[in-house]
Amino acid sequence: MNTQKVIECWNKLSECLSCIDWTDYAGLMLKLALEESKSHDSFRGADIQRGISIETEAKYVLVKRVYQYTTNKDAIAPDAAYFFSMQKSCFACYAIAKNKRFQAAVKKWLQESESLIATVASYDYCALITVKEHATQYKKEQHNEKVYS
């Protein structure tokens, strides 16, 4: 598994979404996912190290969800009745995948990178964040991007 592929997929999605209007949809989704990842990370024991940064984890989750909702692969649509108990980024990803306003951008994203996106979406979340496989990559990321604790 390569975290650089996660970042590349995210950057391509972000670029496609930036062409819709003046709203930073990718930034809004990322903000939601970062809050969720930080909250989830608080359950990690102090003696357990992360394998990737929280930002990369959030980007992975968003890429995977948008891909799954767009292709209808292993994804269940979020139900508004559970809005307060679900991660809000699920609703944002579903909107990006299903709303007609975003379909051209998402279609472009898939056409340009479907093989890469499918590869990233196939990554196992637990394996991705495990220290053993990604400790070296995580140290590099700490120097290259802001790491949220």
pLDDT number for residue 40: 74
pLDDT number for residue 79: 84
d(CA 44, CA 28): 25
Segment 122-149 shows an average pLDDT of: 60
Considering only CA atoms, which of 127, 149, 146 is closest in space to residue 3?
127
**Residue 9: inside a domain:** yes
Interhelix angle 3-17/131-144, rounded to 10 degrees, is 50
d(CA 145, CA 105): 26
How is the chain split among helix, strand and coil, in percent rounded to 5?
70, 0, 30
Worst-scoring range by mean pLDDT, 32-36, 54-58, 120-124, 137-141?
137-141
Give me the domain span that covers residue 73: 3-144
**Residue 17: inside a domain:** yes
This prediction's pTM: 0.79
38 token code pair: 């930080």
Task: Convert 20-58 to b/e letters by CB count within 10 Å (16 or more is b).
Answer: eeeeebbeebbebbbbbbeeeeeeeeeeeebbbbbbbbb
**Residue 76: inside a domain:** yes
**Residue 39: inside a domain:** yes
Considering only CA atoms, which of 147, 116, 140, 90 is closest in space to residue 1?
116
- Over pLDDT 90: what percentage of the chain? 40
Segment 22-37 shows an average pLDDT of: 92
The per-residue pLDDT for range 60-116, each reduced to its tens digit, is 999 999 999 999 877 778 888 888 878 888 899 999 999 999 999 999 999 999 888
Counted domains in the chain: 1
2 token code pair: 């390569």
d(CA 47, CA 67): 34
**Residue 60: inside a domain:** yes
**Residue 127: inside a domain:** yes
**Residue 149: inside a domain:** no
Segment 107-127 shows an average pLDDT of: 87
pLDDT at 3 over 80: yes
